[in-house]
Amino acid sequence: MSESCEAESRPKTFKAIIRSSWFWKPAAAVITGGTLGFLYYYFEGCTSGSCGIASNPFMSIIFGGALGFFFINRPCKSC
């Protein structure tokens, strides 16, 4: 088991950062998660205010975006 996990190095310049998957994979995950969070609020959200996440569209978007980010950058993923 001599397999090593080489981490993808961070690009040095701003142009390289914007063009790399190092930037776009998490950005796409946050946008997708935020969109799904809003859709959850829109279709399943509660109007009584007793639900912490589903009663406010901003909280649903933030929570969905955070879940999308942590899904892509999970600390326990294998190489």
Say if 59 falls within a structural domain.
Answer: yes
Say if 16 falls within a structural domain.
Answer: no
Say if 10 falls within a structural domain.
Answer: no
Say if 21 falls within a structural domain.
Answer: no
What pLDDT, on the 0 to 100 scale, is given for residue 2?
45
Cβ count near 18 (within 10 Å): 12
Say if 55 falls within a structural domain.
Answer: yes
Task: Let me know: does 2 contact 21? Beta carbons within 8 Å.
Answer: no
Q: Cite the DSSP H helix spans in 1-79.
A: 14-19, 21-44, 57-72
Say if 27 falls within a structural domain.
Answer: no
Say if 26 falls within a structural domain.
Answer: no
The number of folded domains in the chain is 1
Best CA proximity match to 34, nearest among 62, 73, 70: 62
Tokens, residue 56: 């406010």
Report pTM.
0.73
Residue 61 domain boundaries: 36-74
Q: How far is CA 75 from the centre of its chain?
A: 13
Say if 60 falls within a structural domain.
Answer: yes
Give pLDDT tens digits for 1-60.
445 555 667 778 888 877 887 788 889 999 999 999 999 888 887 777 777 777 888 989
